[in-house]
Amino acid sequence: MATNHHSKKDSKSIAQNPTLESTKKKTKNKLLYLFLIAFTFIIYGNSIFNDYALDDVIVITKNDFVQKGIGGIKEILTTDFFAGHLKKNTNFVAGSRYRPFTLITFAIEYEILGENPHVSHFNNVLLFALCGIVLFIFLTKILSKPELKKHFKTAIPLITTLLFIAHPIHTEVVANIKSRDELFCLLFTLLSTNYFLNFIDKGRTIKDIVMGGFFFFLALFSKETSMTFLAIIPITLFFFRKLNLIDYIKVMTPLIFGSLIYFILRNKFAGTGIDMVVTNLLNNPLYGATSIEKAATIIYTIGVYFKLLVFPISFSCDYDYNQIPIKAFSDIGVLMSSVLIVFLVVMLIINLSKNKILSYSILFFGITFSLVSNILFPIGTIMSERFVFIPSIGFCLVLAYYIVKIVSHSVVASDKANAQTLTEFSYLKRGSIPLILGALIGFYTIKAVSRNADWKNNMTLFAADVQTCPSSANLNKFYGNSLVDAAKDSKNKKNQMDTLKMAKPYLKHCLEIYPKYDACFLLLGYVYYMEENYDSAYYYYNLGVQSTPNDAEMAFNFGKTLNKLKRYDEAIAFLKKSIEKDPKQDGAYFNLGLAYTNKGDPDNGLKYLQKVIELNPNRSDAYYYSGMILKAKGDTVRAKEYLQKAGAMAGNNTNSY
């Protein structure tokens, strides 16, 4: 009893001392923020040990501008998002991409540490933790004004944040370094919204308006989808604050001004690309579908997103052609998704005035999802888990609200005497909340940690995902390609051939799904060439040169195979065509030299082998065959010189040839 008496006395003294109360609140918040950081690293810490994977090649390892470090920032600021990878300013997918801020961070990392995936992964996890902190602050702010019970105002924001951090659908954003654009987009849009809330709550200062506009501009420079907050910010203020028209104008002015500047820069340096029609099904899976079929397929994918949110069991980095085929409204999945959408719209309308949290959550999801839905314009892919990164906040908020609401009723019913005196956080310890939350977050954590491991590298990622999405042409090609790359790196001949054998069924299945996948012609041709099955190699390379007649690599490999089949005149024609497209490839000159020599023209053979040595002085085989031609021509002095050099390079004597 004495302890309880002192506790009440201390609480009373704190309440009478605002400074002490403020200090205690700040300390509590700092501890909470540290907890959220630790919580994030517990779940995603294993991703720090991953390598580069998937699109990291586009933004880091094979991006010329990023590879220049700080020296590439000017080019990053003045070109399309893909220009540094493609070596030209072009629309790689439908619509242009102008996201310089994220690429600049990669360039700075490269300047300081070179290619270091572990530092980049660490930074992604840290950014996600900061997103969690800012999300909690945002939710605490918006729920501070409605007539909610005291415990709702902290329990709902905290549970929402924990669910959001732990949900395994976010592994793509956190574990894929490239998706840092999503992290910055969320971080900056929430910071912007928080400053505009401060503007309303704390005296309407110019500083809050300026900072709100500044962070929104950074969000735009991170990813275009932040544009949806042009609607989210005023809607948030409408739902949770009381503003007059002048206040709305003050808030919207920096947002609109920043958007105009961004679009001027985007149009100047990257173009719009909105009217661009992509006819390749791999980059536009909806191409060729009727308007009705497009609508049905888009509705179906919305249902798939909700399935992943509610039942996060299996994931994939790719859902493109033809994992989700074109749908009709008679499809059961489309019908079920349609019912879900109608239900959400009805709930939104019914609860507009009765339940602000529910109606706001539905609007938040719908608005932030709109730009990546394929409804307004084609986005270059049918769906992706990262597209519900920000929208999922709406899902987590609804889930947290009903967990707290349902459990709070049971707490009040079982402990009416103390229900009114429970503190903000004590509800988290009462009733079945710890059990429900613990089970849910425990499940999410297990799935997230497991999924992080899939993102270790391309091989582990594609091996896992091709099982989840076996009808994706991309995933079959990606996995087959990874196996071919592994075989090339292997020093053991048996392992090399076994790995190539593993690649074949995936590459063939890719062509069954999409018969025009040029890369598979090249890969299968290589597999059969290495197996010395030159007829099969010829078959696939021949398909390749017909499909991509201007591709230097395809022409080179076809010419090399024709050499093996002793079809020298045809080999010469394709090797010369390859050289026309890429004059610096010593391999084409080498095979051209062999073709001429084998058809009985040693003079031209020697000429092209000399070109090989000019381009690549370290090719011992070029010296060897040059020596043999010279020896046959009777030039024994030069022949000996070339053969000795070849032997020295090969680390052996000339007899080894």
- Per-residue pLDDT tens over the stretch 21-56: 667 777 888 999 999 999 999 999 999 999 999 999
Q: Are 446 and 483 in contact (CB under 8 A)?
A: no
Q: Are 586 and 612 in contact (CB under 8 A)?
A: yes
Rounded Cα–Cα distance for residues 606 and 265 (Å): 54
Helix (H), strand (E) at residue 465:
helix 458-468
Rounded Cα–Cα distance for residues 303 and 160 (Å): 22
Rounded Cα–Cα distance for residues 556 and 573 (Å): 10
CA 264 to chain CA centroid, Å, is 26
SS3 state at 189? helix
Report the pLDDT value the prediction gives residue 528, as an integer from 0 to 100. 97
What the block records as the tokens of 569 is 């005149």
Rounded Cα–Cα distance for residues 566 and 569 (Å): 9
Q: Are 382 and 287 in contact (CB under 8 A)?
A: no
**Could you say which residues of the chain have pLDDT below 70?**
1-18, 20-22, 88-95, 145-152, 272-277, 408-432, 651-657
SS (H, E, C) 199-235: HHHCCCCHHHHHHHHHHHHHHHHHCHHHHHHHHHHHH
Backbone dihedral region for residue 180 (phi beyond 0: left; psi -120 to 50: alpha; all else: beta): alpha
Rounded Cα–Cα distance for residues 84 and 103 (Å): 10
Torsion of CA 113, 118, 120, 121, to 10 degrees: -170
Residue written as token pair 């501009």: 217
CA 542 to chain CA centroid, Å, is 34
CA pseudo-torsion sign 435, 440, 441, 443:
positive
CA 395 to chain CA centroid, Å, is 21
Torsion of CA 614, 616, 622, 627, to 10 degrees: 50
Report the pLDDT value the prediction gives residue 479, as an integer from 0 to 100. 97
Rounded Cα–Cα distance for residues 620 and 590 (Å): 11
Report the pLDDT value the prediction gives residue 340, as an integer from 0 to 100. 97
SS3 state at 159? helix
Interacting residues of 194 by C-beta distance below 8 A, sequence separation 6+:
134, 137, 138, 141
Q: How far apart are the first and last CA of the chain?
A: 97
Long-range CB contact pairs, 628-632, < 8 A, 24+: 628/657, 629/597, 629/602, 629/605, 630/606, 632/602
Report the pLDDT value the prediction gives residue 89, as an integer from 0 to 100. 59
What the block records as the tokens of 155 is 């329990």
Q: Crossing angle for the helix pair 152-166 and 117-142, nearest 10 degrees?
A: 160
What the block records as the tokens of 24 is 């205690």
Residue written as token pair 């390379």: 541
Q: Are 324 and 300 in contact (CB under 8 A)?
A: yes
Rounded Cα–Cα distance for residues 82 and 93 (Å): 10
- Amino acid, res. 540: Y
DSSP string for 230-256: HHHHHHHHHHHS---HHHHHHHHHHHH
Long-range CB contact pairs, 225-231, < 8 A, 24+: 225/185, 225/368, 225/371, 225/372, 225/390, 226/185, 226/188, 226/189, 227/259, 227/371, 228/367, 228/368, 228/370, 228/371, 229/189, 229/192, 229/193, 229/255, 229/368, 230/255, 230/256, 230/259, 231/367
Interacting residues of 43 by C-beta distance below 8 A, sequence separation 6+:
165, 166, 444, 445, 448, 449
Q: Are 142 and 156 in contact (CB under 8 A)?
A: no
What the block records as the tokens of 257 is 């001004």
Q: Are 76 and 65 in contact (CB under 8 A)?
A: yes
Interacting residues of 218 by C-beta distance below 8 A, sequence separation 6+:
101, 184, 188
Name the residue ranges covered by the structural domains of the chain.
458-656
For the segment(s) 458-656, the CATH number from 1.25.40.10, 3.40.50.280, 1.10.10.410, 3.50.90.10 is: 1.25.40.10
Rounded Cα–Cα distance for residues 607 and 384 (Å): 53
**Exposed/middle/buried for residue 605 (C-beta within 10 Å: 0-12, 13-18, 19+):** buried
- Amino acid, res. 457: N
Interacting residues of 520 by C-beta distance below 8 A, sequence separation 6+:
477, 480, 507, 508, 510, 511, 540
C-alpha dist (Å) from residue 374 to 68, 94, 169, 221: 35, 11, 20, 22
Rounded Cα–Cα distance for residues 182 and 53 (Å): 17
- Encode pLDDT of 321-339 as tens digits: 999 999 999 999 999 999 9
Report the pLDDT value the prediction gives residue 2, as an integer from 0 to 100. 45
SS3 state at 353? coil
Q: Are 56 and 117 in contact (CB under 8 A)?
A: yes
SS3 state at 334? helix
